[in-house]
Amino acid sequence: MGWIGWTALTLVLLGTIGFFAFQHALKNNAVAVLNGADKLLNGGDGAIRPVAAAQFGPDPAQKLEMFVPQGAQGNLPIVLFIHGGGWANGDPHDYRFIARTLCAQGYAVVLAGYRLYPKARFPAMLEDGAGALRWVHDNAAKQGGDPARIVLMGHSAGAYNVAMITLDPQWLKRVGLDDRAIRGTVALAGPFDFLPFDTDATINSFGQALDPALTQPITFVRADAPPMLLVTGNVDTRVKPRNSKALAQRMTEAGVPNTPVLLEGVTHEGIIMQFAKPFSRDTRALDAVLPFLAKVTALQSSPPSSVAVKAAAR
């Protein structure tokens, strides 16, 4: 075999190895791959500036990162994002694409982690979410954020976490906060009404609860809760859309105007992928989230009352 033949064979082998390496990475940490693609397509992290990397508790998982737009001046409204992963997986560092997307819209973004199974079970994820919020409330002003305009946001298990922290006031009270610490909550593809526990994720993280009903966001619906935006895909088979529909119905029954956003043809993973390039070409999730964020973080004397948000699926 000549030099050209060996070169061609080497390129084929390298390409094959690269393909399988990519497939392995995608299977084992799809979010990290998604984040890497978004960073590459954005030309790096030059548009965002990290202003804090902190621990809000002694466990290594109790960590957060805060970002602001490059060149930002003044105190910006803050989105505190909590990741998914079945309460057993995930790292906030892999969700920097959320910071790239929302900082570009004028928000400071905090990416927070929490203790995971098997090291922790319910209610550790809620204690940690409240602990992260306490850190943001106490420290954000020094980093360019406005602690009077904080919105919680989460996907999947993270959406559960932020919904529970929003609806059940005990978690904020435990860290010395109340509803005024939250302007609103964005819950993407979240489990809100998932009894009985019939999956490994729910059995592992909630199966030991003495009263399972007290693990469910739908149990704690109250008319005076901060406003919530519920976004889900109609072909989500992992966390079925009935979760958002049931929570919205309960909120309506309690006198809270609320409408879930149902995105046609969007899967469980697809909804979070829309916040990263190249998948952000489908703007439907962001089209639902941005008006809500603008409304609840508008400068005013007090947090807004619960509002209804409706977006047409395209």
Tally of domains in the chain? 1
Assigned domain for 35 exists: no
**Domain enclosing residue 157, as ranges:** 42-296
Assigned domain for 250 exists: yes
Among candidate residues 196, 199, 228, the one with its CA nearest the CA of residue 213 = 196
Assigned domain for 26 exists: no
C-alpha span between 102 and 198 (Å, rounded):
35
Q: Which two tokens stand for residue 5?
A: 């033949």
- What CATH number does the domain containing 217 carry? 3.40.50.1820
Assigned domain for 185 exists: yes
Output the pLDDT for position 1. Answer: 52
- The type of residue at 103 is C
Is residue 94 a contact partner of residue 29, using CB atoms and an 8 Å limit?
Answer: yes
Q: Report DSSP state, residue 254.
A: T
**Which residue matches tokens 């809000």?**
56
C-alpha span between 137 and 92 (Å, rounded):
19
Output the pLDDT for position 29. Answer: 74
Assigned domain for 20 exists: no
Output the pLDDT for position 73. Answer: 86
Assigned domain for 1 exists: no
Buried b (16+ CB within 10 A) or exposed e, 265-278: ebbbbbbbbbbbbe
Output the pLDDT for position 208. Answer: 97
C-alpha span between 236 and 24 (Å, rounded):
24
Output the pLDDT for position 28. Answer: 53
Looking at the chain, list the stretches that DSSP marks H as alpha helix, in order from N- to C-terminal side. Answer: 3-28, 30-41, 96-103, 124-139, 157-167, 170-174, 200-206, 242-253, 268-273, 284-296
Burial bucket for residue 299 (CB in 10 Å: 0-12, 13-18, 19+): exposed
Assigned domain for 307 exists: no
Whole-structure pTM over 0.85, yes or no? yes
C-alpha span between 241 and 285 (Å, rounded):
15
Output the pLDDT for position 314. Answer: 32
C-alpha span between 202 and 301 (Å, rounded):
40
What is the chain's pLDDT, residue by residue, as a tens digit (314 residues)?
554 544 443 344 334 333 344 344 444 579 999 999 999 999 999 999 999 999 999 999 999 999 999 999 889 999 999 999 999 999 999 999 999 999 999 999 999 999 999 999 999 999 999 999 999 999 999 999 999 999 999 999 999 999 999 999 999 999 999 989 999 999 999 999 999 999 999 999 999 999 999 999 999 999 999 999 999 999 999 999 999 999 999 988 997 767 689 999 999 999 999 999 999 999 999 999 999 999 999 987 454 443 333 333 33
